[in-house]
Structure 1
Amino acid sequence: MKNKRQNIYFVSDVHLGAPALTNNPEREKLFVRWLDEIKEDAAMLFLMGDIFDYWFEYKKVVPRGFTRTLGKIAEITDSGIPVHFFTGNHDIWVFDYLPTELGVHVHYHEMRASFGGKKFFLAHGDGLDPFDTGYHLLKKVFTNRFFQWSFSHVHPNMGIALAHAWSKKSRLTKGMGEPFKGDEKEGLFVFANSVLEQEEVDYFIFGHRHLLLNLPIGKNSRYINLGDWINHFSYGVFDGEKFELKTYKR
């Protein structure tokens, strides 16, 4: 008899609270409904970055909102299901609040893991694109301790307003779900190929690009992009034998 809790779930780019979107309450309720459903058969949950459109933990303050999501994640971890949270480029400033209050395992860098005899390479994807040199510099600024300390001393009302203005501009100008550029121009695909030159990987799991992709790469590997909860309402699931991309029925 198979273990009831056998599925490993992956989801990315929910962008809760995105100021450029007008349906944030509806999207959060839908996401929480999905979380509530998967907890019945989940062995593990991977939140693969940009779950929040903006997140910064001050010493005594966290961003307003997301009560339903935070409560549901805490319920999942309290039930004994491990939850792994990868920081993305929008929620990069996660420190001790989420692991302490919710019991999640926070990852600031890529992770390698084995499930069901398959090797997984897991990352949000920001900072791995070899062509995106501008963001590489920006990420160094965002992860600099002095910059983080300085920003923490800006009043939260002003700091969050600045972050929302930045986020709204980036969402509107860059677009979401820019088409796949091709094997030699798609930065994360090129990066994954470079990893395969050094080691064997069965599944590369990325977010960041807002694309819904399950492509062959190398000889026997798969390149996965998890889509988002803005246009696709998608997620990945590994049942111990195979990996599938799915969309949540609204």
Structure 2
Amino acid sequence: MKVYFASDQHLGAPTQEESFPREQKFIQWLDEVKKDADAIFLLGDLFDFWFEYKTVVPKGFIRVLGKLAEIRDSGIPIYFFVGNHDLWMHDYFEKELNIPVYHDNKDFTFNGKTFLIGHGDGKGPGDMGYKRMKKVFTNPFSKWLFRWLHPDIGVKLAQYLSVKNKLISGAEDVKFLGKENEWLYQYCLRKLESKHYDYFVFGHRHLPLEIELNENSKYINLGDWIGYFTYGVFDGEKMELKVYKEA
């Protein structure tokens, strides 16, 4: 079997024009993995900003959305986990693409191996500034207020903050300083105290990481599609990270 994982494409950043080559590269990857994929997991921040009004979604990204629709229509399951940049996703993917959307971690089992999968933002100790901000952004009243902004104003404002605000962009958190300083590593250790998982798979960190938690469990971070172009694949026996190189 082949189960594929990818995260943090940040399409639209810093502009749609500049991210277009990365979008094309990601679509090429989707075209390749669809040949043998049993499932595809997208772990958030596919877009650098996404907000669903009742009748409007952000302009652009038609090629990647069309590719996801094609793959899903062929019968291959796709699962989407919202990230901190597209946390205002509602039901557009579910209604238009038949892709389930998850707003928190979820358990999966493949070929007897157990996975805990999610974007990874706001998990573990620390990061208190972002955690407070996320509570504000996910508050129904905050979303209701933002929805009253005209899309031309709301989207432009959100795109600006997405790039400039370090709490949102994660720009201050891109160095590996040892596993003891990795919040997601600490989070995985705590989760193992109550339940066994063979693999913890997250995004958000923008660093490709494979860290042993114990002899039977591993934490994997998928990296990103900005500088690393890394993805994960589970072949029914083991999970590993790979770098996508265009044919």
Q: Is the pair's TM-score, using the shorter chain for normalization, greater than 0.5?
A: yes
Given that 1:176 and 1:209 are in contact with CA atoms closer than 8 Å, whether structure 2 keeps it comes out as no
Percent of matched pairs sharing the same residue = 52
Kept in 2, the 8 Å contact 1:196–1:218? The answer is: no
Q: Which residue of the partner structure matches residue 243 of structure 1? A: 239
Matches within 5 A, 1:62-141: 62-141=57-136
Q: Distance in 1 between matches of 2:173 and 2:121?
A: 15
**What is the total number of aligned residue pairs between the two structures?**
245
The yes-or-no answer on 1:191 pairing with 2:187 is yes
Structure 1 position 176, deviation (Å): 7.0
Among residues 35, 42, 47, which one is paired with 1:40 in the alignment? Answer: 35
TM-score, with normalisation over the residues of structure 1?
0.94
> Contact (CA 8 Å) 1:10, 1:47: kept in 2 or not?
yes
Partner letter of residue 64 of structure 2? Answer: T
After TM superposition, give the deviation of residue 51 of structure 1 in Å.
0.6
Among candidates 186, 211, 217, match of residue 221 of structure 1: 217
Is the Cα contact below 8 Å between 1:20 and 1:168 reproduced in 2? no
Does the 8 Å CA contact 1:53/1:167 hold for their aligned counterparts? yes
Query: 1:110·1:121 contact (CA, 8 Å) conserved in 2?
Result: yes
Q: Contact 2:44 / 2:86 at 8 angstroms: preserved in 1? A: yes
Gapped regions of structure 2 (runs ≥ 5)? none
Give the aligned residue type for 1:114: T
TM-score by length of 2: 0.95
Partner residue in 1 for 2:199 = 203
Pairwise CA RMSD: 1.7
For residues 52-103 of structure 1, what are the alpha-carbon distances to aligned partners after superposition, in whole Å with 9 as ceiling and x for unaligned?
Answer: 1100011111001100000000011101111100000000011111110011
Query: C-alpha separation between the residues in 1 aligned to 2:240 and 2:146?
Result: 40
SS in structure 1 opposite 2:88? coil
Alpha-carbon spacing, 1:236–1:225, altered in 2? closer, same or farther (3 Å) = same
- Alpha-carbon distance in structure 1 between the residues aligned to 2:160 and 2:47: 15
Aligned counterparts of 1:23 and 1:8: Cα–Cα separation in 2: 30
Is the alpha carbon distance of 1:176 and 1:131 closer, same or farther for their aligned partners in structure 2, counting shifts above 3 Å? closer
